[in-house]
Structure 1
């Protein structure tokens, strides 16, 4: 599947080509200042394009659909996916489930980057004991499923929601680090490795810390032995020239350059359900010609095409005691999981959105209703955080022992005044906002930080109304008494949604609207995951053959 530029991006590319051909530099349409000129302040304008997805992802053009609408019955009587029309913005999603080999790559990186940290490696290991059953002989899967080469392209299982979050962060940093090294913005893999072998040593930072995207974008990953030979030119009047003969000022990559990828993450439940249905294949001029019960067309589970007629379209359990069919002609060619590229992809090009393994999504589980959902990009699970500052005067982020930014719960629901923001980061009590509790230090200040770098905890800020600000919106408008969570119900803020059906589930669970939940630190032999990525910019991915309004260039300005 090819990624095409949007109409907007094509217009800007064409405009850039025209400007280049006329040798006329771009200028601000509001001030007339010429861009990319080091003599007038170095205002920079970046080429506007539709960004390509990260490795392993395919584009999903967003749109409207009826969430929960594909379910024809509620056999569990949970009433937990009420039909409601929502809009999902365009995004990227993994073509396949994350496979065992992908997870082994992750484990290998940990072992070579932190060879002495047994705890980190142990925590990243999937729970292979999920295969063990009291009345089943599944021990061979306990020993072989993750590591044996025969299973390397099978979906990883035994991974908790928490572990999936860690993998997404690792994948983001490794992808962006590889982009910067391959393009010379950081030292190359060969030069970076002490042995001259690609990826054989820890990455960057001012010490031996691994590369982290957030820390890099904050300007904390640069200097001798880190900077590459093809850094971005720095035309700022405050830029300092590099060393060596005729050395020109350079700088690290910024978000504005459009070079780095957005963060990998789990898809939201709405994104996952929308992508699984892939109604785009049944749509013409905004009319959906036919709905779907599964990730494919039709009401059945067998192929109707002449060459594959009668073949099962997904890996699931036909009935009690029937996981694969009769020997000599296995119905779905799998007894447990199947390789991640098995069976035909859906109309978005995604494999195994029905069957094979259930998949974690980002949402916290709640029973849903019209009253507690947004109709644009619905999501349940917001817990707002801010990056902690190690040095507020310099804007440097505090880092944990793995070189990642330390995050604290958000203290306000809006941008704070700078004096209050600075006081908060310094561990002092802000003056212009009320406090939910008395300050924990003398003279109205917080207790001094124990390590000299990270601020001590301060009391939670409140709004002008006097109500305590809560950075966790997972339980917003929830009338259930939270003190009973885990006592009278399993539904709590640690319960996460998984969807899609598995090799050990009946066909009902392959319907994209079905949903179940499990605690975020639990795992199963029937649950895996795939990643998603936010798509920035224009939502239209395939503009060819569709009508568009012409876009006019702004008029130029000449000072007189």
Structure 2
């Protein structure tokens, strides 16, 4: 009898201790550890997100858990470029598109631009035309490719094929557009904005994530019925209105803010380090805290054909197998594609990513340089930072691009593109006042940092205006005649002293394509191309940064 009483008493004590420990552990979620104040926002107090469940995976993305890896090729180098010397790098966790951006995805972007900024109006014409892929990239002076020229982008037979003819700038602008449309839908689905508002937007009433966060009353053309038109907005207004005796309380924090964790980070092009890490998918050769060797391709093994029993001999990607051989002999040995292939035609890698070799090569965010400067940085390596800040009006509000204040840039190939769309916040470079006494950066443009300037590990020239990379400088200027008509004056650089094509406007592209030999399927291979030019073999996919924990599920068993 005494034994039973003692046993029950021990259970009660243990259970109470567990409850107490859980209570102590969770106390900080609802109350401030600094002041002890409640963080639920009632009675006029401050409100914070205390039950955040973690970042949601955006449409089309898969999670890539970060880690360390050897960036750069360590096997074949028949080109003797020496531009991918192996370096040890660490990449934070991020998300990446499961597949390449398809024609149908890009057409949705074009149709939205056409609907929102009608190209029939002269002031909007270049917004739409500047986003159009160059379908003439398929043409060959000694080849008949008019079928692809006329059909590849828009015909439904190619709707799930990767988009091509898109330059780096266009890919970046698509990424921005995708961010806005995803976050716009999230706000609507969660009841913060009016349902269906995204279908009613025009040139003067668009949605932009950064504008919504910094100046929410300016999105949708300042239409308060939209920005506060959902059930969640009504609830938020009640929760954020201080309870005063005379009822004169003024509602605060009515709009979703960054601290609420509702909006997703931006869609963007992956960095070169992220792309290479994701393409390798090294999890299959990990053993405890080391890798067993190195993968030559995104899949295991040293060959491009499948070695499994059921599909033995099948090609694992589409690529050029030899002179005049873009797919193999028709039938069993064929890789199933002569140009690009429909997405998901081949098996994914260990991260669940499709076509990280073959199909199309892909733009990444980085400015190209022959070396990776791991001596300066080995964490989230990226060359291409140009730091900006929000432009501020004299009254202290942020400056937003309007339908009548769009600024257009003329690219070196003559294309005209919008610098920012209506509804976006105007950006300007950071100044010396912003960087005063900072140790980590001193300038706005850091694309050529440690590459021929005073802070480089090696000196090249004393005059900083005399660049290390002496590339051609073609110029295109808009000229108005007496009638007001605008024409482009193209001036080719004919200087015979030019020594390279590398400058701050060339970007890295990764992965082999349908036009490439197997040599280029190695994820560590790297090449470059002018950012304002396009080809029939370069496409892209998007990435998104992971905020919060490194892992989605915590550590797994060994």
1:390 partner SS: coil
For each residue in 1:357-414, what CA deviation from the matched residue of structure 2 results, as whole angstroms up to 9, or x when unmatched?
0000000000115566511111110111111112553x33332431111111111485
Measured after TM superposition, the shift of residue 226 of structure 1 is 3.2
Q: Secondary structure at the match of 2:42?
A: coil
Match of 2:542 in 1: 531
Q: CA deviation at 1:538?
A: 1.1
Partner of 2:327: 324
Report the number of matched residues: 470
Q: Is the 8 A contact 1:161 1:360 kept in 2?
A: yes
Question: Which stretches in structure 2 are left out of the alignment for 5+ residues?
Answer: 1-17, 404-421, 453-459, 461-465, 473-497
1:517 to 515, 528, 532: 528
Q: State TM-score, norm by structure 2.
A: 0.78
Secondary structure in structure 1 of the residue aligned to 2:62: strand
Aligned residues of 2:241 and 2:251 also touching (Cα < 8 A) = no
Deviation at 1:56, TM superposition (A): 0.4
Question: 5 Å matches for 1:172-211?
Answer: 172-189=179-196, 192=197, 199-202=198-201, 208-211=204-207
1:403-418 equivalences in 2 (<5 Å):
403-412=423-432, 414=434
Q: Does 1:101 align with 2:104?
A: yes
Cα 1:389–1:78, aligned 2, differ >3 Å: closer, same or farther? same
More divergent stretch after superposition (402-411 vs 23-32): 23-32
Q: Is 2:34 the partner of 1:30?
A: yes
Aligned twin of 2:554? 543
CA contact (8 A) 2:241 2:252 kept: no
- Is residue 19–residue 25 contact of structure 1 (8 Å, CA) maintained in 2? no
The answer to whether the 8 Å contact 1:495/1:520 transfers is yes
1:476 to 444, 449, 456: 449
Q: 8 Å contact 1:162–1:520 — kept in the other structure?
A: yes
Number of the residue aligned with 2:45: 41
Residue 288 of structure 1, CA deviation: 1.5
Match of 2:471 in 1: 485
Residue 287 of structure 1: which of 282, 290, 295 is its match? Answer: 290
CA contact (8 A) 1:37 1:235 kept: no
Tell me which residue corresponds to 1:64. Answer: 68
Give 1:54's match in structure 2, choosing from 55, 58, 83. 58
Q: TM-score, normalised by structure 1?
A: 0.78
Q: What is the rounded CA distance, in whole Å, between the counterparts of 1:24 and 1:51 in structure 2?
A: 20
Spell out structure 1 runs of 4+ moving beyond 4 A: 17-25, 234-241, 246-250, 369-373, 413-416
Distance in 2 (CA, whole Å) between partners of 1:150 and 1:156 is: 13
Q: Is the 8 A contact 1:46 1:256 kept in 2?
A: no
Secondary structure at the aligned position of 2:322 is classed as coil
In the TM superposition, what is the alpha-carbon distance from 1:493 to its structure 2 partner? 0.1
- Cross-structure match for 2:278: 275
Is the contact made by 1:153 and 1:340 (CA closer than 8 Å) also made in structure 2? yes
- Mapped partners of 1:345, 1:304: distance in 2: 15
Which range is displaced more, 229-238 or 397-406? 229-238
2:126 matched residue in structure 1: 119
- List alignment gaps of at least 5 residues for structure 1: 1-13, 193-198, 417-462, 548-560
Q: 1:496 to 1:369 in 2, by over 3 A?
A: closer
**How big is each residue's C-alpha offset from its partner over 1:278-319, in whole Å with a ceiling of 9 and x where there is no partner?**
101221322222420010000000111111111000010111
Q: How does 1:66-85 map to 2 (within 5 A)?
A: 66-69=70-73, 71-85=74-88
Equivalence for 1:264 = 267
Which residue pairs with 2:401 in the alignment?
A: 399
CA contact (8 A) 1:112 1:200 kept: no
Aligned counterparts of 2:438 and 2:539: Cα–Cα separation in 1: 45
Q: For residues 240 and 408 of structure 1, what CA distance do their matches in structure 2 show?
A: 42
1: distance between equivalents of 2:129 and 2:65?
39
Structure 1 distance, partners of 2:184, 2:359, is: 32
Deviations 1:103-135 (A, max 9, x none): 000011011111232211111110000000100
Report the RMSD for the aligned CA atoms in angstroms: 3.1
Distance 1:283 1:108, change over 3 A: same
**1:296–1:346 Cα contact (<8 Å) kept:** yes
Deviation per CA, 1:333-374: give whole Å up to 9, x if none.
Answer: 001000121100000000000111000000000011556651
> Would the aligned equivalents of 2:29 and 2:51 in 1 still touch at CA under 8 Å?
no
